[in-house]
A and B are shown apart, each in its own frame.
Chain A
Amino acid sequence: MADTTSITAAAIPDVAQEAGGVWGFSRAQLVGLGILLVFLVVAPFVLYPVFLMKLYCFALFACAFNLLIGYVGLLSFGHAAYFGMGGYLAGHAAKVWGLTPELSIIIGGVTAGLLGVLAGWIAIRRQGIYFAMITLALAQMVYFFCVQAPFTGGEDGIQAIPRGNLFGVIPLDRDLSMYWVVAAVFLAGFLLVHRIIHSPYGQVLKSIRENEPRATSLGYRTDDYKLLAFILSATLAGVAGATKSIVFGIATLTDVHWSMSGEVVLMTLVGGLGTIFGPVVGAAVIVTMQNYLAEMGAWVTVIQGVIFVACVLAFRRGLIGELAALLKVKL
């Protein structure tokens, strides 16, 4: 087992930090960021804003997931729990407690984070595939909780969640107003993930991914680092779920189901594990695909399965990872 490379090491081209970067962004990443910013501003006038908002929610979800798999090497197969719980709590806060959308989203994120404290504390005791199985099992527990708990509305979910007024003053009923909020939340989350992985803390995370016993021998309490990464990831996933339920006015069991956990793995895998733009591109690909193939019913599942298999067998770097390798840059 010792000589197997970590799941992301194969996906990341070994490129040293380039000179001329700003805030930890390499030159290529700055170009990518520029394209992303232009897209965020121009897209709502060209594409359907509700579709874009869905995309950003999933992109943020995938970025949160990527923080764990890409930079700590931990495969969580239960991230739907945090995404879905964030959605439920935000929906409950906005509808029943009548809170403003930004507070609801914060509550969703904090709840998911607290759930992450508990789940992470249990799950980080094991590595590798056991970690994946434990997170999957814990997420299934959350799913059953959501099926039974009265506030989630069971099979119906929480419906008719009001978008409300941002800070209590700016109404978000128009899709375009809501769009800017979602875009801002997404961008903030994206930059936060980038900041985390380029901080000294993030460097330690990467060293844990590469060789955990060595990091331990250097005096790092690796469990603490892993737990914090898990909590951060869960919180961001919760924020993504919370934003989604505010946008669509509905929070349902679909978002806590294990198939959602599988979807976020797929998005990140397609885009490229351990790349900062990979999850965003992967989410865009998968969400677009689901949008166009929605009438095909169960074939969507089959196609997703085929993409999974193809990615694992032939395409482990993902779209952005391949592009980065091709251009010999870091993305």
Chain B
Amino acid sequence: MDEIFGIPAPLLFGQLLLGLINGAFYAMLSLGLAVIFGLLNIVNMAHGAQFMMGAFAAWMLLAWGGIGYWWALLLAPIIVGITGVILEKLFISRLYKLDHLYGLLLTFGLALIIEGVFRNEFGSSGLPYRIPPELSGAWDLGFMFMPVYRGWVVVAALVLCITTWLLIEKTRLGAYLRAATENAALVQAFGVNVPRMVTLTYGAGVALAAVGGVLAAPIYSVNPQMGSNLIIVVFAVVVIGGMGSILGSILTGFALGIVEGLTKVFWPEASATVIFVIMAIVLLARPAGLFGRK
């Protein structure tokens, strides 16, 4: 099997893998967006900036503190998550009674501030982040070479997404979360501290974005704009999947990454726009999104 549909197999599988990796990031980011949206009813426009902060946190931990990849994978999301908690306490929590669009505008402003500060500090050109030695090298799969790190990203993202899904669907904490999504006032009446839960949910969603950033750091160069272009695609992914469903956003994320990878093989010029085209088609056929409830 050297050629499939007239395409050399290594090229096809190479692009499929790239697509799967992009899909992993789409899934992680849209998952975070869905979790935040579910409880807070805001679209977190700062999500891309927080993804970028995760990557920068990993870079800073290594460059300034000598702390390596594995600790960064734990510490960076905590640090970025804490900044998220602070942002929610200081700013976002003031907007819950207003139109949801204000939340979108506020987080957009926050994204501009974060990106601008990082651009001033680190410039626009990317900073390199080395692949940890345990994950460098490549496996020979017979039909293609698979860089170990890329395989790791896909597996890690899958594990993370499934864990989050299980946490929300199967645990007591998740049950509170789902209940508060349905009716916050009632859950509060049962003695659950809903405002604190909202704050922590935002922190957790932001931390998810930051994990994505750390995972992305060795693949893409670490630069201040790395999140903003990604996040617009993720918005399209979210519109396609519908924000109501956690599992839906994971599946849509991976699937669209693969579609994008395949498009790169068969029609490279369209690969940047294919997700948006799919979004348009889905909106025409099913305005609520593939997994949407409304």
Contact = CB atoms under 8 A, between A and B. Distances in A.
Interface of A: 1, 4-7, 10, 75, 77, 122-123, 125-126, 128-130, 132-134, 136-138, 140-141, 144-145, 147-148, 258, 262, 265, 269, 297-309, 311-313, 316
B7 interface: no
Contacts of A137: 232-233, 235-236, 239, 276, 279
Interface in B110-169: 110-117, 119-120
7 contacts: A1-B41, A125-B283, A129-B42, A148-B269, A297-B119, A298-B116, A305-B109
B79 interface: no
A97 B233 CA distance: 35
B120 A299 contact: yes
Interface residues of B, number: 44
Which 8 A-B residue pairings sit nearest by Cβ, starting from the closest? A308-B109, A305-B112, A305-B113, A301-B116, A302-B116, A141-B276, A298-B119, A137-B236
Contacts of B106: 308-309, 312-313
B97 interface: yes
A265 B276 CA distance: 22
B112 A269 contact: no
- Chain B contact residues, majority secondary structure: helix
- Chain A contact residues, majority secondary structure: helix
Contacts, number: 138
A327 B112 CA distance: 33
B176 interface: no
Given A126-B283, A136-B232, A299-B116, 4 more contacts: A7-B101, A298-B119, A299-B120, A312-B109
A300 B116 CA distance: 8
A323 B110 CA distance: 26
B101 A75 contact: yes
B120 A298 contact: yes
Contacts of A298: 116-117, 119-120
A303 B43 CA distance: 22
Contact of A306 (B113, B119, B120, B283): B113
Interface in B85-103: 91, 94-95, 97-102
Nearest to B269: A148
Contacts of A265: 105, 108
B238 interface: yes
A309 B113 contact: yes
B287 A126 contact: yes
Interface string B222-242: 000000100011011011000
Nearest to A78: B232
B187 interface: no
B60 to A, nearest CB: 18
A301 B94 contact: no
Interface in B207-256: 228, 232-233, 235-236, 238-239
B186 interface: no
A192 to B, nearest CB: 25
A305 B110 contact: yes
B117 A302 contact: yes
